[in-house]
Chain A
Amino acid sequence: MQSFGQSPHKKTRHKRKRSKPKVRQMENTGYIALSRQGTLRREMSTIANNLANMNTTAYKGERMMFVEHLTRSKSADFIADQKLAFTRDVASYRNINDGPIEQTGNPLDVAIHGKGYFVTQGPDGDPQYTRNGNFRMDNTGQLVTQAGLPVLTQAGAPVFFAPEDTNIVITGDGTISTQNGQLGKLQVVEFDNEMQLKRAANGMYTTDQAAIAMDRPEVAQYALERSNVEGVMEMTRMIEISRKYKSIQNMLTKEDERIRKAIGELAKISQS
């Protein structure tokens, strides 16, 4: 009898306790769908960025990587799985394959075949790395990137051309020479983990990793590396994303209908 006396109170408390996760249960579908839609939108902007940079020198295409993010469902008597799977974008990764090499006819255009990055002196003194070998001379005859960062040699020094230097030759290993002799060798470096290079604007990368000098880089003068974005692949991905997005939207609508119907039906039952 003691229990009986307590039970109404207990029951209501118990009910309240249970009703909370139940509400969540109803909305879980929405949250999960939303988590997926959010990642799809971000993947869409990655693809948009790839396509926007289709003609950007030495641009590397990016992909988004998703993981299942499992959370324990709050209710113990959940009919289906006890865990809920959300989607989360865990990383974006670069396609580090070489882009096609294009001839430009400019003696200060240098492309790297295979691995490696050119080293430039960033504005804050830290090195910045790039594969964009679209160099130019500034008014003092210094070899700089289009954004004006000095390009460094293996000795860590900038390259200066004399006004009379005409026949600028950059050999396959990066040695720069003119008719007046050798000026130095372009520094080309590689990294233990290329993926950890942080992208900065203007095709530059920064990193805390130690750069490893390459003994035998393979560079080509009068050429630039084009973007490695494959338009057709990106378009296909885009269609896929758009369809997925719509199907999730569809699912959300259906879910909304289901909840509405459930509420309606439940209301009918309680009325009768």
Chain B
Amino acid sequence: MRSLSIGATGMLAQQRNVEVISNNLANMNTTGFMRRRTEFHDLLYQNLRRVGSTSSDAGDIVPSGVQLGLGVKLAAVYRIHEQGNLNPTDNAFDLAIQGRGFFQIQMPNGETAYTRDGTFQLNADGQLVTHDGYAILPNITVPSNAVDVSINTSGEVLVKLDGQVSYSNVGQLNTAIFPNDAGLESIGSNLYLETPASGNAATAAPGSTGYGTILQGFLETSNVNAVEEISNLISAQRAYEMNSKVIQTSDDMMGTLTSLR
């Protein structure tokens, strides 16, 4: 019975949907997290009566054929790169990007990873690193005798040294943008890697055309909207239930067949 397997594809799809929603909810308070959305496509169609076929030799065309769908499949789980809220933290090394762009991170294996999570700190050498200790690219070192650090919207790191009045520039933070942000590969820890789907990274100072600006003392919250996720969760659960009913009913119908005689 076709409807049995169709119901099964439906249940599987809704299960994936719930998994994605639960991951969004789990990361509701993850800095810089981008929510995911599941996208479904219908499966192939079986033609019992082809659309556009003729019903007589006079050329009468069947108004609409009989096409039986064979279920549903998961088409994509795509990230929605919507700006999250900016939360003030009053920490000099907490940075948020307002607009497009990613911070560049030097991974231990030499690769460059990208993130929007700007919870940076200084390591023992005064170098700006992530909370995992990975260096920010390009490298920025804050002298130990600095009394104040100011990072402006275009990514210039300005420090005021002990006993000085004016600020001096110790580096420039660059951000990266991609032709297709959604094509980046997530590797956990709020980090992304470049892939053939994302296109090559283009780097420039924040605030250049097409690049977002940097806000010091702020962090970007996740863009998960709890109300929306919960309502999606409910609709996914209901769809799951209905698909299970399809299986139940199909089984019932088959049961009447086997109970014959």
Report yes or no: A198 in contact with B52, Cβ–Cβ below 8 A.
Answer: yes
Residues of A within 8 A of B6 (CB): 45, 48-49, 52
Set B78, B242, B250: member contacting A136, Cβ < 8 A: B78
Instruction: Tell me the minimal C-beta distance from B14 to chain A in angstroms.
Output: 7
Considering residues B179, B182, B261, which has the most beta carbons from chain A within 10 angstroms of its beta carbon?
B179
Given A53-B42, A202-B75, decide whether A137 and B256 contact each other with a Cβ distance below 8 A.
no
Report yes or no: A146 in contact with B41, Cβ–Cβ below 8 A.
Answer: yes
Mark each residue of chain B from 26 to 59: 1 if its CB lies under 8 Å from any CB of chain A, else 0: 0000000000011111111100111110000000
Instruction: Tell me the minimal C-beta distance from B209 to chain A in angstroms.
Output: 5
For the side of the interface on B, what is the size category?
35 or more
Report how many residues on chain A are interfacial, defined by Cβ distance under 8 Å.
Answer: 69
Report yes or no: A238 in contact with B249, Cβ–Cβ below 8 A.
Answer: yes
Mark each residue of chain A from 32 to 51: 1 if its CB lies under 8 Å from any CB of chain B, else 0: 00000000111011111101
A97 close to B (CB within 8 Å): no
Instruction: Tell me the minimal C-beta distance from A153 to chain B in angstroms.
Output: 19
Report yes or no: B71 in contact with A46, Cβ–Cβ below 8 A.
Answer: no
Mark each residue of chain A from 155 to 198: 1 if its CB lies under 8 Å from any CB of chain B, else 0: 00000010111100000000000010000000000000101111
Report yes or no: B253 in contact with A242, Cβ–Cβ below 8 A.
Answer: yes
B1 close to A (CB within 8 Å): yes
Alpha-carbon separation in the docked complex, A32 to B17 (Å): 42
Report yes or no: B236 in contact with A106, Cβ–Cβ below 8 A.
Answer: no
Report yes or no: B66 in contact with A91, Cβ–Cβ below 8 A.
Answer: yes
A218 close to B (CB within 8 Å): no
Given A55-B239, A64-B66, A137-B179, decide whether A48 and B199 contact each other with a Cβ distance below 8 A.
no
Choose the segment among A6-14, A73-81, A110-118, A249-257 that binds chain B (4+ C-beta atoms closer than 8 Å).
A249-257
B190 close to A (CB within 8 Å): no
Alpha-carbon separation in the docked complex, A74 to B253 (Å): 32
Report yes or no: A252 in contact with B68, Cβ–Cβ below 8 A.
Answer: no
Residues of A within 8 A of B38 (CB): 55
Residues of A within 8 A of B116 (CB): none
Task: Classify the secondary structure of B's interface with A.
Answer: mixed
A200 close to B (CB within 8 Å): yes
Set B39, B71, B72, B209: member contacting A146, Cβ < 8 A: B39
Residues of B within 8 A of A54 (CB): 10, 239, 242-243
Set A106, A141, A193, A249: member contacting B80, Cβ < 8 A: A106
Alpha-carbon separation in the docked complex, A103 to B31 (Å): 23
Residues of A within 8 A of B41 (CB): 56, 132, 146-147, 201-203
Instruction: Tell me the minimal C-beta distance from A74 to chain B in angstroms.
Output: 25
Residues of B within 8 A of A71 (CB): none
Set B43, B45, B243: member contacting A51, Cβ < 8 A: B243
Alpha-carbon separation in the docked complex, A54 to B6 (Å): 12
Considering residues B51, B209, B223, B235, which has the most beta carbons from chain A within 10 angstroms of its beta carbon?
B51
Alpha-carbon separation in the docked complex, A41 to B37 (Å): 34
Residues of B within 8 A of A256 (CB): 261
Residues of A within 8 A of B250 (CB): 44, 48
Set B4, B42, B78, B100: member contacting A202, Cβ < 8 A: B42
Given A163-B210, A238-B246, decide whether A45 and B68 contact each other with a Cβ distance below 8 A.
yes
Residues of B within 8 A of A231 (CB): 238-239, 242
B65 close to A (CB within 8 Å): yes
Residues of A within 8 A of B39 (CB): 57, 134, 146
Report yes or no: B76 in contact with A41, Cβ–Cβ below 8 A.
Answer: no
Closest chain B residue to A245, Cβ basis? B253
Given A52-B9, A134-B39, decide whether A141 and B51 contact each other with a Cβ distance below 8 A.
no
Alpha-carbon separation in the docked complex, A105 to B82 (Å): 6
A259 close to B (CB within 8 Å): no
Residues of A within 8 A of B69 (CB): 45-46, 49, 52-53, 62, 199
Report yes or no: B3 in contact with A44, Cβ–Cβ below 8 A.
Answer: yes
Alpha-carbon separation in the docked complex, A225 to B105 (Å): 38
Report yes or no: B179 in contact with A141, Cβ–Cβ below 8 A.
Answer: yes
B226 close to A (CB within 8 Å): no
Residues of B within 8 A of A208 (CB): 52
Residues of A within 8 A of B70 (CB): 49
Name B residues whose Cβ lies closer than 8 Å to a Cβ of A: 1-4, 6-7, 9-10, 13-14, 17, 37-45, 48-52, 61-72, 75-76, 78, 80-82, 99-100, 177-180, 182-183, 196-199, 202, 209-210, 223, 235-236, 238-239, 242-243, 245-246, 249-250, 252-253, 256-257, 260-261
* Other A-B pairs, 6, CB within 8 Å; known A198-B50, A202-B42, A234-B242: A53-B69, A55-B38, A105-B82, A165-B210, A208-B52, A231-B238
